[in-house]
Structures are given as structure tokens and as C-alpha cells.
Amino acid sequence: MVKPRKAKPVLTTAQQLSALIKSARDILRKDKGLNGDVDRLPLLTWVMFLKFLDDLELLHEQEAELDGKRYQGIVESPYRWRDWAAREDGVTGEELLSFINQDETIRPDGQRGKGLFAYLRGLAGEGEKGSQREVIANVFKGVQNRMVSGFLLRDIINKINDIHFNSSEEIHTLSHLYESMLREMRDAAGDSGEFYTPRPVVRFMVQVTDPKLGETVLDPASGTGGFLVESYDHLLKQVVTPEDRRKLQRESLFGQEAKPLPYMLVQMNLLLHGLEAPQIAYGNTLERRVTEIGYSERVDVILTNPPFGGEEEAGIKANFPANMQTAETALLFLQFIMRKLRYAGFGAERGGRTGMDPVHSGTSSIHGGRAAVVVPNGTLFGDGVCATIKEELLKEFNLHTIVRLPQGVFAPYTDIPANLLFFERGGPTETIWYYEQPLPEGRKKYSKTAPLQFEELEPALNWWHNREETPQAWKVDFAAKRAEALAAAEPHWQRAENERSAALAVGKQIRELEQAVSAAGNGDKAALQSQLRDLKTKQQAHEAAAKAAQNEGDALYWPIYNLDQKNPHAKAGLEHADPKDLIASMRSHETEVMRLLGEIETLVHEVEQ
């Protein structure tokens, strides 16, 4: 008896798309021009981008036809996906590579003209600034086709052609697949890690900052768009009316990215998550002179993980105040963020909650803009220019919370411990709350294979709005520290000021005496020159005394801007000890050891006698 064949199980949309993407990636592995996921994901992205764009244009054409209007397309024939990519037996091989790569070529319609990438890059000159044409031109400005086989590229195109970007279910599924590919890309190459902030950290920062519909949200170092995607999902839950949807799509989310690859990745990431026209500026955020940022340009919420460890050129440093110029990228971004936050009274008109202390979520119009920023440990304890920047932060803003993350959260990109700063415009800072995120029991650090999970941040979320001191949380009365430091430093600074005034007074006498020396006869010059030497010695003594007094005052004042505060509830250990205390402890032990050795030596000497 012939057994009936088992019916093939019907695949879900997620399974179908997952299989399709896996098949496409298998094809990409065969091409000799691609090296790992760092090359494969960008190629898959630009192919998907063009299919997505054409599906969107077809939808808009249909809507315009129903309304009896003429639709003006963004991309013209024969450069639309439907013209050259949609047919499985369409242009392939060397002909396909030539059409995509060359500045001028024979197009699929048989006419000679611009190649595909050359055409797309030229769209910037055909649209208004910030238009979709300019976005497309910027996306393809940094795109290169690294595939060397036009036949394999045709296979990839045919696979992507089976994705329906007008299906909300498929887009939702693909957005999650895309994020998993971004994680793989981060793991494949160290430098790519800077484009990706761990999703648990992003979600925590967005949830506690709590953007409200009607507020403007900015990430000035967008990377692949994690903060903007999470903010979009957060704001989407607040959409009720068509006007709400319009506000979310056009007036809520903004970003900027300087590097071509992440610029393309963030566009695709946001498109897949439902933002129809991402407003991501292309270029270096720090090229803007911070003193020129006007009221209308400021925003309600900034969520970002700016690059750290990098160095900016002299031209970029010149965009910042003279006393706060530095090559350190993280410190420049911190200053930009401070200038970019909206003043109280200029915020969102709706959506705010009041009466929340110390975190004024959703109340930028009342309390001023708010920010959540990832910074490296060095920002907390840095002195010099870094301390000057923190002084302004703590005077002009309310730095209400610092969340200390354990080592390895950003692995494999960096093992440097990071911190989350939460502050709002409207200072000075009175109290700083610290929360130290603990490692799971038995773990020494996080890693690529054992990363931080969002569930591990739930105690911090629960603590956020019900603050009290715990083994992980403590507060610092910064206002009292500042007042105490100023009271201790002021006498020294006053003495320094007095000494500088005395030095200036002597300087006036020196100038008068120098004129007298010039006018004196030979018989009087020797005595006058002797007086001049005495006055110069006196002036130098005043200047030295002023410098010493200034240093004494500074030594009492500036240490308060070392925000690298250790958990007072933690067990004392070498990793928590102050270096000076460690040195003193070692010296005391050394003294004890020498004393014991002396006693032993005496006993040995007595035995030998």
C-alpha cells in the first residue's frame, strides 16, 4: 500500500522571509569580491533599499490615481526597480555590472546614458534640500558594488524581488531580521561596533527619558539608528488620530550621521520600522559652530551614544569656546548636546506630565530639554578642559542621574566601562543620584557571547521613579560639595587676586622707572637701574605668590568635578580603593616588614654569639 505523502507545512511570513534572507546570504558568500558580513550586509541593504523605494512609489502612484492627481516620481525610467530588476530573466552578468557601476553605459532600455549609481548620486541637484531625492543621493554617495559576478548579483536581485514592502507584516518581520544582521555586522568587525549600541541599553534610556508625541527627538550621532527606532516604537504607542500619525512621521524624529555606510544603514533601518521619510542629515554634526545654534533649532529630547576615543581636527575644535576646545570627540559632542537642548518655555505644546521629581519626563516646555548620553569613564574623572565642560554642565543643567554600567557591555567594540548621563536644561545641579548596574552572580564582565539582557535592567527601571538608597544606588549632595569647596577655595583665590593686583601696581612703577632711566644722566643711571632690579624681583615674587595661591584654591575647588564616585555600599577592595590610599597602605606594610626583619636579624645575631 502506497503511503500518502506528507503535506508540506505552510511556512509563516517570518519563516518565509528568514529562509529568503538566508538563501540570499548564501549566494553572497559565493562571490569573491565580498569579504564577510561587513561587505555582505551593505550590499543586501542597497538592493533592498531600491526595492523598498519602488514599492513605496507604486503605492503613492495608486493613491494619486484614486485622487485623480498626477504623481511625480522620485526615480525616473529606466532606473526604477520595475524597469531593470523586476523580471527574473532581466539584465544580468557583465551587462548588469556595467549598468550599476559605470558612470556612463548602455542602459537596459538600449539607450546610452548614466549608470544606475551615477544617476542616483546626481539626484541631489534635482530636489530641495532635505527632500527624498537628496536622501537617496546621499545614501548612494558612499555605496559601492563590490560583487564581481553579475550572475550572482542577478540571483540576489531575484530573491529580494520576492519581498513585498507594501505588506506591513513582512516589513515588521524584516525589521527584526535586519536588526539581527546589524548585530552580526557589529561582531564581524571592531570598527563597525561604533554603529551599534546594545538594544537593552537603548531601550532603558528611551523608557526612562520617556519622549512624548509632540516633542522633537534627536540623535546627533545616529549610527544605525537604534535610538531613533526605539523612540519611534515608543511614540507609536501614543498615536491615536491621523494628526498624531502625521506628527510622528514628519515632526518628531531627527538624526545626523557623518559616515556613508551607517548613513545608508540607518535609512534602511528606519524605513523598515515604519518611518516613511527618515530625516537624517548627512555630515559631521560637529562642523556647526555651537554659538550659532538658535532657539528654533533646539530640541526637546536628545538620546545618543556619541563616538569616543576619536580625535577631531583643528577646524572642528574652532567651532567651540576657546576655554573648552579639545580634540576628544566625546567631549565635543557633550558640548553640542548641551547647546542643542531647548530652554524652558520653548518646548512641546502637548503630551507633558508634571509633578515628577527628579526626572521631568515629557515636560520640556516647563523644565527645558532633557538628554540621555553614553559617555566613557574618562569623562567622569577627566580634568583640565574636561573639568571646565563639566563645570558648565553642572551650573547650567540638572545632572540628576548617572547610571554606571559594568565592563563588557559594549564588547566586542570596547571593554572600556561606560556611563549613562541623564540631565536637563535648567541648573544648577543640586543632587546627583548614582545607580550602579550589577553584574549577574558569578560573572566578572559581559562579553559578546554573554551580553547584557534587558531583564537585568528591570530593577533599575523600578528604582527610577521611586528613588531610595540601596546597595546599588546612592546620592551625592553636589550643592553642599560645591558650597564647601568654594568656601575653602575663595580665601586662596582672593589672596591670588590681591597678589596679581600688587604685581600690576609694581608693574606700573617699573614702567615709570624705566622712563626715568632713559631720561637720566650717566651719574644717576646706576642707582635707578638698581631700584629697577629690586622692583622686578618684587613683581616676580607677587606673581609667584599669586600663582601659588591660585593653585591652592584650584586644588580645593576642581576635584568636585571628578564625578567618578565609587559605590559607598560596595565591599572595599583593590578595584575600589583610592590610588593614594593604596600607596600609603603599601608603605605602611613595608615599614612593618622592615621592623620585623630587623627583629629577626637581632635574634639571629644573638643566637650566633
- 3-state per-residue secondary structure call for 538-591: HHHHHHHHHHHHHHHHHHHHHHHHCCCCCCCCCCCCCCCCCHHHHHHHHHHHHH
3-state secondary structure of 594: helix
3-state secondary structure of 373: strand
Round to whole Å and give the CA distance between 556 and 83. Answer: 72
The C-alpha cell at 39 is 561587505
Which is nearest to 50 in space by CA: 83, 14, 98?
A: 83
Q: Is the pLDDT of residue 193 over 50?
A: no
Segment 557-577 shows an average pLDDT of 79
Confidence of residue 261 (pLDDT cuts 50, 70, 90): confident
Round to whole Å and give the CA distance between 16 and 399. Answer: 48
Confidence of residue 201 (pLDDT cuts 50, 70, 90): very high
The C-alpha cell at 394 is 553642572
Q: Is the pLDDT of residue 576 over 60?
A: no
pLDDT at 600: 74
The C-alpha cell at 427 is 541648573
pLDDT at 307: 86
Q: Is the pLDDT of residue 207 over 80?
A: yes
Q: Is the pLDDT of residue 136 over 50?
A: yes
pLDDT at 60: 85
Least confident of 125-129, 371-375, 391-395, 428-432: 125-129
How far is CA 408 from its chain centroid? 17
Which is nearest to 368 in space by CA: 352, 392, 390?
A: 352
Segment 444-453 shows an average pLDDT of 86
Q: Is the pLDDT of residue 183 over 90?
A: no
- Beta strand pairing status for 104-106 and 418-425? unpaired
At the fourth CATH level, which superfamily is domain 14-166? Answer: N6 adenine-specific DNA methyltransferase, N-terminal domain (1.20.1260.30)
pLDDT at 574: 46
Question: What percentage of the chain has pLDDT greater than the value 70?
Answer: 86
Q: Which amino acid is residue 370, in one-letter code? A: R
Peptide bond into 307 cis (omega under 30): no
Q: Is the pLDDT of residue 109 over 50?
A: yes
pTM of the model: 0.82
How far is CA 194 from its chain centroid? 9
CA distances from 284 to 164, 359, 514 (A): 34, 31, 54
- Of residues 475 and 582, which shows the higher confidence score? 475
Give residue 267's region: left, alpha or beta (phi > 0; psi -120 to 50): alpha
User: Which phi and psi (to 5°) does residue 419 adopt?
Assistant: -135, 155
CA distances from 230 to 224, 333, 403 (A): 12, 21, 19
Angle in degrees, 0-180, between the axes of helices 329-340 and 385-396, rounded to the nearest 10: 20
Other CB atoms within 10 Å distance of the CB of residue 129: 7
Q: Is the pLDDT of residue 572 over 60?
A: no
Q: Is the pLDDT of residue 188 over 80?
A: no
Q: Is the pLDDT of residue 353 over 50?
A: no
Round to whole Å and give the CA distance between 26 and 247. Answer: 41
Segment 305-327 shows an average pLDDT of 87
Average pLDDT, the chain: 86
Which is nearest to 53 in space by CA: 114, 148, 178, 140?
A: 140
Segment 312-336 shows an average pLDDT of 91
pLDDT at 580: 57
The hierarchical CATH code for the domain 194-346+364-467 is 3.40.50.150
pLDDT at 608: 62
3-class DSSP string for 170-188: HHHHHHHHHHHHHHHHHHH
- Of residues 138 and 284, which shows the higher confidence score? 284
Round to whole Å and give the CA distance between 595 and 23. Answer: 75
pLDDT tens for each residue of 474-526:
999 999 999 999 999 999 999 999 999 999 999 999 998 888 888 887 777 88
Q: Are 204 and 461 in contact (CB under 8 A)?
A: yes
Which is nearest to 182 in space by CA: 190, 173, 172, 192?
A: 192
CA distances from 33 to 39, 49, 99 (A): 9, 21, 18
Confidence of residue 297 (pLDDT cuts 50, 70, 90): very high
Q: Is the pLDDT of residue 196 over 50?
A: yes
pLDDT tens for each residue of 524-556:
788 888 888 999 999 999 999 999 999 999 999
Q: Are 203 and 230 in contact (CB under 8 A)?
A: yes
Say which residue the cell 537593552 belongs to. 200
Q: Is the pLDDT of residue 355 over 50?
A: no
- Beta strand pairing status for 253-257 and 280-282? parallel
Other CB atoms within 10 Å distance of the CB of residue 353: 12
Least confident of 78-82, 116-120, 292-296, 338-342: 292-296
pLDDT tens for each residue of 7-66:
445 556 677 888 888 899 899 999 999 988 788 888 988 998 899 889 888 988 888 888
Round to whole Å and give the CA distance between 367 and 357. Answer: 11
3-state secondary structure of 403: strand
